[in-house]
Chains A and B, each alone.
Chain A
Amino acid sequence: MESTKTQPIVELQQVRKEYRQGHLQVQAVNGVDLTIQEGEFTAICGPSGSGKTTLLNLIGCLDTPTEGRVLVGGRDVSALSDSALADLRLRQIGFVFQAYNLVPVLTAFENVELVLALQGVPAAQRKKRVLSILEEVGLLELRDRRPMDMSGGQQQRVAVARAVVANPRLVLADEPTANLDSHTGAALLQMMADLNREHRVTFLFSTHDPMVMDYSRRIVRVVDGKIAADELKPRGAGDRSPAAGDPPAAGEA
């Protein structure tokens, strides 16, 4: 059994994010402190426009804060160049998007392989790794299909495989079940919960899907750009083993 001692993978310190929308100045995130420990399975939830996607973008180094510090793996990302941010995303973070966002000209296999190729992993190793992860998400048979020839659920499983194939420390999933029916959504969540438990991949969701919250061990509620509540459950719905993915101490918010 792996050690359950954890360390912060993400730290937000007094983070604010403003942007202009026409003539309006919008406070999307307003003074957020948040710590995510390695191995967590956490949902950031809140109504539309509450700032959860902005928060996820900031953590994913897709956006920079107006104020405050964002630390990923202990590293302050606000001073990094575009290329350095790209490298950080490539090596430490996996993304799962609401609209799957697979590369349409690549097959399922190639979509998953892409991240490893960008990392410069040799072809033989890539093949081995991709086949193994596709087997894990149950898509080995469909590996030569292009996204347009797959269902939404299948595409999202490819997206999850792509997000975890390079063993990132953190997977960010923005409304991953929003476009899926409840059955497919549940299967996907179970798959991610298994990956969390077996590979200790940290999962962070932005969602307003109750099912996602059900699966999560920690729920961070965001309202008007601020953290309104930070709850810890004894176990998530996806937990099959009482010892795995032990919840860390809650964030400071």
Chain B
Amino acid sequence: MAMFFKMAFRNLWRRRFRTGITLVAIGGSFSLLLFFVALTEGSHQLMIDLAIRMQAGHVVIQAPEFQKERALELRVTDPDEVMRRIGPLPEGWTATRRIFTTGLLRSADGSVMLDNLMAVDLENERKVSDVGRKLVRGAWLDPDEPGILIGEKAARLLKVDVGDKVVVSCSGLTQKVEERFLVAGVFRVGGDADRGMAMIGLARGQALLGMGDAVSQLAFFLPPDDSQAAARELRRRVQGLPVAVLHWQEALPVLTQLLWVDDISMQVFIFIILVIVAAGILNTVLMSVMERTRELGILKSLGMRPWSLFRLIVTESLLLGLLAVAVGAALGLPLVHHFGQVGIDPLALTGGEVMEMEGIAFTDRIHPVLSWASGLILTAVVLGMTLLSAVWPALRAKRILPVKALRQM
């Protein structure tokens, strides 16, 4: 009813200053919420992306027990058969084979423990790994050279650089092994990985470790939205083979848990902000109902039904909420867009401390990103909260007795 909205809308502007303050408060809170949700989403995407590229894939196939104990003997013995069963990969997918082990890296000047020595499929790993992007010196591995990529800290400790010789000692499948490599590149990915991680070619790794064709893991990279469905499909195709198919959430349980905890704390933060917003709206609407007791009584005496008065007050709040959401979006979305473009230095958020998890340091700039779903859910929640906080004042309006209201001046 047009008349109804007209009244509700004009009523909002009777106290311009008060409505303005409420609008700024709710709109400001909403823009803050948009930004923090976008920041959380952006940082989660970054964490997932980094962790997946360095440690897993969107979906991984490995020996069933490998998830519990990353031992060399827990391996996929016939990766070619696995790939044959899977068949041609869909457009946009990449599969890479990896061996994970530990060892010792030595030079003439010292040694460092390698807690993550990876032998990788050079062609495909290069497409997905972060290491290739973060080489500070040298180049990606050449299949014809006995090259190794090491971290910046390791290089410093061993006093070696690109072209220098280093020795890798580790336990192979059946015996202790040792081999000389040439430093092909030095990377800086941040955190402990710069000391304890190194990468060699898959063929060389398989020969060194006595693995034959076996690998620790087949990692699949694909458009992230499809990953759950893809995991199910891969599981179906490799049925009967002695392998486990894991979605990244299963393969990276610590990350999954961390994201979960982070989501919960975000929700608590949202809840607190919303309670403050609700209190603001409640105050504004309740005040406006109490001030207008007489006028609402008149409307009732003219024949406006009690529930229509209820609806009038709720409509006023809804309009207030919609305007506030518009103000909030006008403030928040450009902020999200701006920082989405330029990114935010994670060190600025943690006070200079590098956040690290499962050996992965998060040093990349975080680009806040707001999904449609989150934006719409937040909008719905703020509007829902607005409506909810109008219920009590609206009930008061509904219960106004005209004869009492008319006596008020």
A, B co-complexed: yes
Show the binding face of A for B, using Cβ within 8 Å.
Answer: 57, 60, 62-63, 82-83, 86-91, 93, 95, 97, 101, 103-106, 110, 113-115, 117-119, 123, 162
Complex Cα distance, B63 from A76, in Å, reads 85
The answer, yes or no, to whether B298 is at the interface (CB within 8 Å) is yes
Q: Which of A57, A86, A110, A162 has the most CB of B within 10 A?
A: A86
Majority-rule SS of A interface residues: helix
Q: B305 touching A89 by the CB < 8 A rule? A: no
Alpha-carbon separation in the docked complex, A163 to B47 (Å): 69
Q: Does B306 contact A (CB under 8 A)?
A: yes
Main secondary structure of the interface of B (DSSP, over half): helix
Given the known A-B contacts A62-B402, A113-B3, are A97 and B298 also in contact in the complex, defined by CB atoms under 8 Å? yes
7 cross-chain pairs, A with B, having the tightest CB-CB distances, nearest first:
A90-B303, A105-B10, A117-B3, A89-B303, A63-B403, A101-B298, A86-B305
Does B301 sit at the interface, judged by CB under 8 A? Answer: yes
- Contact mask for chain B residues 1-23; partner A; CB cutoff 8 A; 1 contact, 0 none: 11110110011001000000000
| Cross-chain contact of A91 among B300, B303, B306 (Cβ < 8 A) | B303
Interface contact B305-A114, CB-CB below 8 Å: no
4 further A-B pairs in the complex, CB-CB below 8 A; given A82-B306, A106-B10: A90-B304, A101-B406, A115-B302, A115-B303
CA distance A123 to B306 in the complex (A): 23
Residue among B2, B7, B11 facing the most chain A CB atoms (10 A cut-off): B7
B299, CB-defined interface residue at 8 Å:
yes
Looking at B303, B305, B307, B402, which has the most chain A CB atoms within 10 Å of its CB? Answer: B303
Residues A104 and B303 in contact in the complex (CB < 8 Å), given A62-B406, A110-B6: no
A-B contact list, 5 entries, CB within 8 Å = A62-B402, A83-B307, A86-B306, A89-B303, A118-B304
Query: Chain B contacts of A90 at CB under 8 A?
Result: 302-304
Q: Does B73 contact A (CB under 8 A)?
A: no
* Proximity bits, B289-304, A CB within 8 Å = 1, else 0: 0000011001111111
Interface residues of B (CB under 8 A from A): 1-4, 6-7, 10-11, 14, 294-295, 298-308, 402-403, 406
A62 pairs with B302, CB closer than 8 A: no
Which residues of chain A are near B3, meaning CB under 8 Å?
110, 113-114, 117
> Given the interface contacts A62-B406, A82-B306, A113-B3, does A105 sit within 8 Å of B14 by beta carbon?
yes
Q: Which of B2, B4, B7, B406 contacts A105 (CB 8 A)?
A: B7
Asked whether A95 and B295 contact (CB < 8 A) given A62-B406, A105-B10, the answer is: no
A87–B298 CB distance below 8 A: no
Q: Give Cα distance in the complex from A95 to B302, angstroms.
A: 7
Q: Give the distance in Å from the alpha carbon of A135 to the alpha carbon of B295 in the complex.
A: 26
CB contact under 8 A between A97 and B406, given known A103-B295, A105-B14: yes
Residues of A within 8 A of B305 (CB): 82-83, 86-87
- Cα-based distance from A86 to B406 in the complex (angstroms): 15
In the bound assembly, the distance between CA atoms of A119 and B298 in angstroms comes to 16
Report B-chain residues with C-beta under 8 Å of the C-beta of A97. 298, 406
A86 to B7, CA, bound (A): 19
Q: How far is the CA of A105 from the CA of B319 in the complex (A)?
A: 16
Nearest CB of chain A from residue B220's CB, rounded to whole Å: 63
Whole-angstrom CA separation of A105 from B12 in the bound complex: 10
Residues of chain A with a CB closer than 8 A to B4's CB: 117
Q: Decide: A86 near B298, CB < 8 A? Known: A57-B403, A117-B1.
A: no
Tell me the minimal C-beta distance from A37 to chain B in angstroms: 23
Interface centre among A57, A118, A162 (most CB of B within 10 A): A118
